[in-house]
Copies of this chain bind each other. A is one copy, B any other.
Amino acid sequence: MGIVITLLTDFGTVDGYVGAMKGVLLTRAPDAQVVDLTHEISPQDVITGAWALKEAAPWFPPGTIHLSVVDPGVGTTRRALLLKSEGHLFVGPDNGLLSLAAGGAVEGWLLDRPQWFCQPVSNTFHGRDIFASVAGHLAAGVAPELLGSPVQSWAQLDLPAPRRDQSQVIGQIARVDRFGNLITNVDQPMIGDLTAWEVSIGGITVGPIQRTFGDVRPGQWVAYLGSGGMLEIAVREGRAVDLLRPLGGTKVKVILCER
């Protein structure tokens, strides 16, 4: 079995777009295993795509190629990018999509060599003609140095950071998952001892940080350290995001006070 190539897009699967990308990959690298991460990122939602990629990619073995396309700038002058980080290879548009997953010591290349693209390159579907084509050549063993020109910097996402204010941490909701749970932008290193805090959100007291949502009764609010290492807030057997609406929606502040 050959190299693993993961796919993450905002294309949905109603159309043939994802299929065409898989075809290009398997034409270039017949021995690769193509693995879907998701195609259900909301159209053009680069930030959610970046979080989903960061959540999944690190669990794959080194050598995995991660092909990610959420690309509102297709057909404009936004650049095409290949990043190498801790043995993983990331291919996609240079719009911040790859930037959360590809952390640490990273090498980068601009994909500026048309001989590795499908020709003619469509103006509206670089996912197939540039990104899948290059990822397929990578999987077939072509070195990054041949596929593009070295580059030292690339787009980063402009994400709000949590703020530490005396004995408080003031954070925000970074995203909402399928279960309606709220994933905040507050991570474990920022708060240290989990038992030292009392959490509130939008004026509602959630209480101390629990081990898991099983620690409260059905229908109750609960804060806990999520599987991605971030503080999460949920309602046991409910959808927290729905209860949040009258309080101001996902813009409300998440406040941790020392107990």
Contact = CB atoms under 8 A, between A and B. Distances in A.
Given A1-B30, A124-B212, A18 B40 contact: no
A140 interface: no
A132 to B, nearest CB: 9
Interface string A48-84: 1001111111111100100000001111100000000
Contacts of A225: 123
B19 A56 contact: yes
Interface in A1-60: 1-2, 4, 6, 8, 11-24, 26-27, 30-41, 43-44, 48, 51-60
- Quickly give the copy total for this chain: 3
Interface in A219-250: 224-228, 232, 237
A227 B122 contact: yes
A213 interface: yes
A38 B18 contact: yes
B12 A59 contact: no
Contacts of A4: 26, 30
Interface string A118-133: 0000111100110000
A38 B15 contact: yes
B30 A61 contact: yes
A213 B74 CA distance: 9
A190 B203 CA distance: 58
Contact of A178 (B11, B36, B125, B213): B11
B24 A237 contact: no
Interface in A97-141: 122-125, 128-129
A1 B75 contact: no
A177 interface: yes
Nearest to A17: B55
B33 A73 contact: no
Contacts of A224: 123-124
Given A16-B56, A35-B34, A213 B24 contact: no
A128 B178 contact: no
Contacts of A44: 237
Contacts of A11: 178
Given A19-B56, A24-B59, A214 B76 contact: yes
A-B pairs, top 10 by smallest CB distance, nearest first, are: A19-B56, A16-B55, A23-B59, A75-B212, A125-B227, A123-B212, A19-B37, A16-B56, A23-B60, A122-B227
